[in-house]
Structure 1
Amino acid sequence: MRKPITVEDLWQFERLAGVVVSPDGTRAVCGVTQPSMERNDSSTQLWLLDTDAKRAPRPLTSGGQKNGQAAWSPRGDRIAFVARREQQGRSDDQPQLYLIAPDGGEATRASDFAPGIEAFRWLPDGRGVVFAAWVWPGLKGARAQAKAFKTFNARKETGYATSEAHYRLFDHQHPMQRVLHLLRLDLASGRIVDLFEGTPYELPRVDLQPLPFDVSADGRHLCFAYDPAPEKLAGQRRVLVELDLARRRFHRVADDPAWDFDLPRYSPQGERIAALAANVGKAHTMPAKPALLSRDGRWRALGAGWDLECASAPAWSVDARALYFSGESRGRCPLWRCAVDDDVITEHAGGGWVQGFDVGGAPGQEVLVTAIDGHSHPVRLFAQRAGAAPRRIERFNDRLLARLALGEVREVSFQGALGDEVQMWLTLPPDFDARRRHPVLHVIHGGPQVAAGDSFGYRWNAHLLASQGHVVAQVNYHGSTSFGHAFKHSIVGRLAELEFQDLEAATDWLRAQRWVDPQRISASGGSYGGFLVAWMNGHAAPGRYRAYVCHAGVFDRVATFAADSYAERPKDLGALYWDDMPKVLAQSPHAFAAAMRTPTLVIHGALDYRVPDCNGLAFYNTLKLRGVPARLLWFPDENHWVLKPRNSRQWYREFFTWLDAHSGRRRAGRQSRHAR
């Protein structure tokens, strides 16, 4: 007998990520994260899989809490990964590089660099790696870095002082007075050389996955993304720089004031470089597309008639005739193949959402492994050989899924703003009955330049939300990705205008369905979705929506200049508040507080630097002073998302209880069985 999904079920799923294929294509490694509600944490271990699926997956690591960024050595005899572990009586203060044989055994620490290792890539001879680390740029040598690190850690002051414009990201400050350099580690001697030492070069201060650098097949050159502006800021254009490792000479291989370049990847023979390129001179929302570069600085963008955008770094086929990359298309994210000489892009693996992939093997014997999830299942791994159908190579979550009753997912469309067709996903409750009227819950995605997609999701799981009796509606409103650039760019300078029209049109469509209770429609959303919830509270007709849930939502556009992305937001607003305050206020929910009347649950985390919690607190305080029913859930230890298992359980309980109280969703007692 299958049962509706619960929060506890959601936190029992094993989460697969970071799949990498061995050079010969016969095996793959992926990270498997096992959450624990009891311990209130998660552990990530590496697992080894056969790409022919003849043997069951087996664990490769067992120690340490977070083992990640696995990479096969060029000969396939070792696997390197980044972790913080205890070994030989010493615990790592910062993440270090570890090596393990694919046939098992104990992992050995391969680095001892005090500031730690953020990301790495093997050198082609297998004798070393190039890695990224936060270093003091004025110091010379690893010993000086270690001494500075020890002194910094021993200080008693807690203040963070900086003159940098880009100094924090999501939930952490960038290490004070440090920048991201690339260094070379010789595995035999342990010797470390800072490749950027004494130069102005540094890596972009962003998430280093996927890697913004690559090493040529002959090991003689290194290519990396670089922000050439004197003042580093998120969202600025980048160029691609190549370093001759022997002569230590730098030169730019891609530099155009109108274009932003990123994620370089050398071809297997090394004579060409693939990368992503976006024509930001035309608009900051222009899509990133595959590009092909030669070593002498010439380049061309691929996919001239392709109006979508890459969602991953490009990867060369083993014969160097094509590039693979994932890219969104109408609420899905398939894998695409671009024949580089013909510039023809075709869908290679469709359905669901490609969360990762890797390529291995020899020409004519290529093996492609993809990690794909979908509305009704978490990530699954498939291996595909040339001329054969994809074959699933693991069954990590099948037993748990077999016990759960998940509702039907439907894709519908309606006419929205500007007369455009707008997509909406509907997730039905498992006991859906078209003869009865059901309450509806809008779940509004963030971004805005993302999409509600054919993906499972853990933070806003549609099936868990629907299990309480609601029909869950997810609208890909104007501004969403995967529907072409014009649709994505249409909201710039008038945020919330078209999106609100789309959401209202979706509500009209839903109210016309005989299985919808028009008196029990609520709306929820996070980040930009939370912004739209706050906007709806000041613009929708009173009583049209029974209740709102606003998670990490923008309430005050001026106060949100405290965000880590403060330099990027004026591009979407089409104005700076000191130049055109009326235009900014016209796009800020707080300016319409006098019209807010709908009960709202406000959720925020104190460590949220993307949408600082002053937004949630001001929204909640405003509602309280206005006499509007409101409740606040504030986490002192969460960021833009809720990541701890028990906090997630509390989040869902508060969410369900609020809807119970204000949307007339179900009789009392149903929530206690399904959400506990």
Structure 2
Amino acid sequence: MPKSPQAFDVDTLWALARIGEPSLSPDGAQAVASVTRFSMEDNKAQSSLYLFSTLGGEPRRLTEAGDKDGAPQWSPTGEQIAFVARREQGGAKDEEAQLYLIAPDGGEACRVATVATGVEAFRWFPDGRRIAFVSWVWPRLKGAKAQAQALKDFKARKESAYVTDELLYRHWDHHIPMGRVPHLLVLDCVSGKVQDLMEGTDYSLDWKEPGTHSFDISPDGRRIVFSFDPAAEKRAENCFALGEIEVKTGSIRVLLQDPAWDFDAPRHSHAGRHLAFVATERGRSHTAPAQLAVLDDQGHWAVVSAQWDREVEAPLRWTEDDAAIRFQAEDEGRRHLWHWELTPLADEPALLFEGGHAAGFDTRGETVVLLHDSVQFPPRLSVLSEDGAQRIEALNDAVLDAQAWGRHEEVWLTGAQGEPVQMWLVFPPGFDKKKKWPALQVIHGGPHTAFGDSWHWRWNSQLMAAQGQVVACVNYHGSSSFGHGFKDSISGRWGQLELQDVEAGTDWLLQQRWIDRRRICASGGSYGGYMVAWMNGHSGRGVDPQRYRAYICHAGCFDWQAMFATDGYTWFPQELGAAYWEDPAKVAAQSPISMVQHAVTPTLVIHGQLDYRVPDAQGLAYYNTLKARGVPARLVWFPDENHWVLKARNSKLWYQEFFAWIARHAA
């Protein structure tokens, strides 16, 4: 007799394997990807590399000795797989992440070299003998020995202060390594020799998140193109240029620069005659869409997607014949894989895979392997064929098949300015329209992101619906994937249109006979946390104080003047329409702090001390204000978490507090 499906819970969520982005073998027969598993008991994660046949079948575990083996890439010859890890080998334990090689048929992984300053993103040279990688180095020092000594001295210092005169000095949850910049280095896999290609120059890669999309190696291996900030003072909103390094001589030239355009994610065509990249016209608008562009070998470039009102996302991958480019892009709350024909030039791209959510992909010849997910399932690996996406693994199926799932759907509302607005609904398992159900509004962050048909590990809608409530999320004005006009519409007036859209969503819920109007709550993180604080302050000023039984504010923005402590402080004046010293009233009018005297609804406030995007003083100030005013409030503060709650045990507590708060006020 088959067992009844179980209610999806936090322990089951964290028991699921998490698959990383795949890399295809040169013949397209196999894919390699990291697989991460968590132990709730040990509160630790372990990542190993797995091989997946593109024809399907049981995957094979390739590495076991490391704790965090990740970012695997197949060599162009197919003889080796490179990956990044911290291991102990030959009596030496890695203090920083290093490059390792392993044969695809197994055996012991081998550290290629020890780079004192560590290894981040990397790419193989076409010859399969060398690897280009990113490392944070002291820019005025020469040679590996000098770098190693500088690192040793830095770690041995007795002072703990971070000292800088840079405008850009921290990002999300980490400080920019003090006194260091990200350079491109080359490693010879045979000799172990390492060469810093940017040594002695003023060039460096993106200080925020230098990755594999920041550079690309030419098909002949002679040149490396990279994106960089040409300004002397690095700022988050600066326009990047494209540079090119001659690998043999180390000479660098500026390939493409325009003060009104930001250039990023360069990718050579197979023949080497064209360079695809992402171009964003920041001179037109700070919210301008990222577009697909191509540069030819004569120095001429053009935007391919100028008439397509969607945003192109890296990576860019040329088809084998260089006649088209494949990429991912959002469209109305979903993320698809697209194919843009260049010869002849198409007016818009063709849909290659329809999400759900296309999370990552790789191509070799005609083979396309895809990492994708949905509200209904976590990321899985598939191969595209004429019949659609064909699964090539079933790592989580046994666990998932034992769970009860709720269906999801989208509805369209008339929102602010009389414009259509999308809302996603996730129903509890066993949903029956003849019964009354509580509802939870989940307001996404950003604001220029979107809630979609995707799996979320930290705000899992299936887990929330499994509590016996209808989960609703409105893609309010300002959300991505609905065109530039929709995205830019909230600039200089944050909170206004978004509030109308969320309230339109709640109005729609209240019109349904199956919604219990006495049991509606609202929650949000980051900008979504800002929105629930904004809504609470609007009690009696457009929002019925009895409309929501409780709010949950995770990492929410409370005071835009105090938010100048954020890592993105130079960006907020563009969004708010002014800096606080230029127009204090305008900035204050968009801050929940300016109307918190009207807040009456019980609120759970959650924040992490290591959050640099929304510093924890924002959450603490909001919580303290609510308590001082006698509004029921509860604080959950994590000293070891950032903008996201990433540790298994902390996540379990987060969900427990989240659900308990709703149960207390909307039972």
Q: Same fold (TM over 0.5)?
A: yes
Alpha-carbon contact 1:179-1:202 (below 8 Å) kept: yes
| 2:350 is the counterpart of 1:350 | no
In structure 2, what residue type is equivalent to 1:330?
A: E
Q: Determine the structure 2 residue equivalent to 1:284.
A: 286
In structure 2, what residue type is equivalent to 1:372?
A: H
In structure 2, what residue type is equivalent to 1:380?
A: R
* Higher mean C-alpha deviation, range 627-636 or range 164-173: 164-173
* Higher mean C-alpha deviation, range 67-76 or range 602-611: 67-76
In structure 2, what residue type is equivalent to 1:383?
A: V
Secondary structure at 1:11's aligned position in 2?
A: helix
Q: Determine the structure 2 residue equivalent to 1:374.
A: 374
Q: Determine the structure 2 residue equivalent to 1:591.
A: 594
Deviation, structure 1 residue 123: 1.3
| 2:548 is the counterpart of 1:545 | yes
In structure 1, what residue type is equivalent to 2:478?
A: G
Secondary structure at 1:148's aligned position in 2?
A: helix
2:231 to 229, 232, 245: 229
Alpha-carbon contact 2:121-2:212 (below 8 Å) kept: no
| 2:167 is the counterpart of 1:168 | no
Encode CA deviations 1:87-140: one digit per residue, 9 max, x unaligned.
112110000000000111110001211110111111111111111100000000
* Separation in 2, partners of 1:319, 1:170: 40
| 2:613 is the counterpart of 1:613 | no
Encode CA deviations 1:338-363: one digit per residue, 9 max, x unaligned.
112333211110021000000013xx
* Separation in 2, partners of 1:355, 1:210: 16
Q: Determine the structure 2 residue equivalent to 1:672.
A: none
Alpha-carbon contact 2:353-2:388 (below 8 Å) kept: no
Secondary structure at 1:10's aligned position in 2?
A: helix
Q: Identical aligned pairs, as a percentage?
A: 52
Q: Determine the structure 1 residue equivalent to 2:664.
A: 661
Q: Determine the structure 1 residue equivalent to 2:534.
A: 535
In structure 2, what residue type is equivalent to 1:465?
A: M
Q: Determine the structure 2 residue equivalent to 1:573.
A: 576
Q: Determine the structure 1 residue equivalent to 2:296.
A: 294
Q: Determine the structure 2 residue equivalent to 1:21.
A: 24
With the length of structure 2 as denominator, give the TM-score of the two structures: 0.97
Q: Determine the structure 2 residue equivalent to 1:392.
A: 391
Q: Determine the structure 2 residue equivalent to 1:494.
A: 493
Deviation, structure 1 residue 592: 0.8
Q: Determine the structure 2 residue equivalent to 1:47.
A: 50
1:254 to 253, 256, 262: 256
Encode CA deviations 1:57-94: one digit per residue, 9 max, x unaligned.
11111121111111111101000001101111211000
Alpha-carbon contact 2:357-2:372 (below 8 Å) kept: yes
The answer for unaligned runs of 5 or more in structure 2 is none
Deviation, structure 1 residue 257: 1.5
* Separation in 1, partners of 2:596, 2:433: 38
* Separation in 1, partners of 2:173, 2:355: 33
Q: Determine the structure 2 residue equivalent to 1:215.
A: 217
Encode CA deviations 1:588-629: one digit per residue, 9 max, x unaligned.
111111111100000000000010000000000000000000
Alpha-carbon contact 1:275-1:313 (below 8 Å) kept: no
Alpha-carbon contact 1:445-1:526 (below 8 Å) kept: yes
Alpha-carbon contact 1:604-1:640 (below 8 Å) kept: yes
In structure 2, what residue type is equivalent to 1:659?
A: I
2:98 to 96, 99, 118: 96
* Separation in 1, partners of 2:311, 2:558: 30
* Separation in 2, partners of 1:143, 1:295: 39
Deviation, structure 1 residue 388: 5.7
* Separation in 2, partners of 1:3, 1:636: 34
The answer for unaligned runs of 5 or more in structure 1 is 665-676
In structure 1, what residue type is equivalent to 2:528?
A: G
Secondary structure at 2:313's aligned position in 1?
A: coil
Deviation, structure 1 residue 210: 4.5
Matches within 5 A, 1:72-151: 72-151=74-153
Deviation, structure 1 residue 207: 2.1
Alpha-carbon contact 2:236-2:571 (below 8 Å) kept: yes
Secondary structure at 1:311's aligned position in 2?
A: strand
Alpha-carbon contact 2:412-2:422 (below 8 Å) kept: yes
* Separation in 2, partners of 1:317, 1:373: 24
Alpha-carbon contact 1:414-1:423 (below 8 Å) kept: yes
1:636 to 635, 639, 642: 639
Deviation, structure 1 residue 515: 0.4
Secondary structure at 2:462's aligned position in 1?
A: helix
* Separation in 2, partners of 1:555, 1:82: 39
Secondary structure at 2:446's aligned position in 1?
A: coil
Equivalences, count = 658
Encode CA deviations 1:140-183: one digit per residue, 9 max, x unaligned.
01111011111111111111101111111111111110001111
Matches within 5 A, 1:394-543: 394-539=393-538, 540-543=543-546
Displaced runs of 4 or more, over 6 A: none
* Separation in 2, partners of 1:297, 1:583: 44
TM-align CA RMSD: 1.1
